[in-house]
Structure 1
Amino acid sequence: MVEATLLLAFVMGLLVPFQFAMERLRGLGRHFVAKLPYKPPVKSVASDAEETDEK
């Protein structure tokens, strides 16, 4: 059933204008990237600020 749904979605996607399809794909990509867990850098911003103050 999933394969049929994906095939139908693909065929429907072929029927829309290219620019609209690209906007939708970019939005889908942003949606999935936003769900990735964020791990901050090892060095914090506060320690960077302290180092610049010392100079």
Structure 2
Amino acid sequence: MLDLLLAHGGATATTLGERLPVTRQAVAKHLGVLDRGRPGAHEADGARAPL
């Protein structure tokens, strides 16, 4: 998943799910975990920085 994100400069859960042997829901869950682990993932105004 990380390789796909880096290679394509970001992607949706649907796009990643089409390329991986897991469900879109599983991809979305993994993206959520990655997002929570990123320093600065949330801006001061509450907006989310893009993955």
Which band: TM-score by shorter chain?
Answer: 0.3 to 0.5
TM-score by length of 2: 0.38
Larger Rg: 1
TM-score by length of 1: 0.36
